[in-house]
Amino acid sequence: MFERVLQKLQDAILAGEYEVTDPHFLEELAAEDLTLPDAETAILTGRITRRYTDDPRGTRYKVVGRSTDGRLLAVIVRIKESGVPLWITVYLEVEETE
């Protein structure tokens, strides 16, 4: 359903054409003991699990994927009017147990 959006986010990583909210995104990385490559890997290998449409600044997407060391994490991203993805926040996602 969100394949085109996810592909745009992944292409932006490969091209190095994305922005992060500063300092919030970087603070959240540090608080969760994550690195920028962890967030990149999560988007490159993950999937969009939710779309938030209630923000007047634009639609946000929740991408859930694995970090470089296998932890499950979520990255919240918005695509700016310029077309550049803006990474808003990142956090460890709770693993579902069966």
- Condensed to tens digits (0 to 9), the pLDDT of residues 16-51 reads 999 999 999 999 999 999 999 999 999 999 999 999
Could you report the per-residue pLDDT of 37-93, keeping only the tens digit for each? 999 999 999 999 999 999 888 999 999 999 999 999 999 999 999 999 999 999 999
Measured between alpha carbons, how far is residue 48 from residues 23, 30, 33 in Å?
24, 23, 23
Cα separation, 48 vs 1, in Å, equals 9
Q: Given this model, what pLDDT does residue 1 score?
A: 73
pTM comes to 0.93
Q: Given this model, what pLDDT does residue 94 score?
A: 86
CA 41 to chain centre: 10
Task: Go through the domains of the chain in sequence order and give each one's CATH number.
Answer: 3-92 (3.10.450)
> Average per-residue pLDDT in the chain?
94
Cα separation, 91 vs 18, in Å, equals 18
Cα separation, 32 vs 24, in Å, equals 12
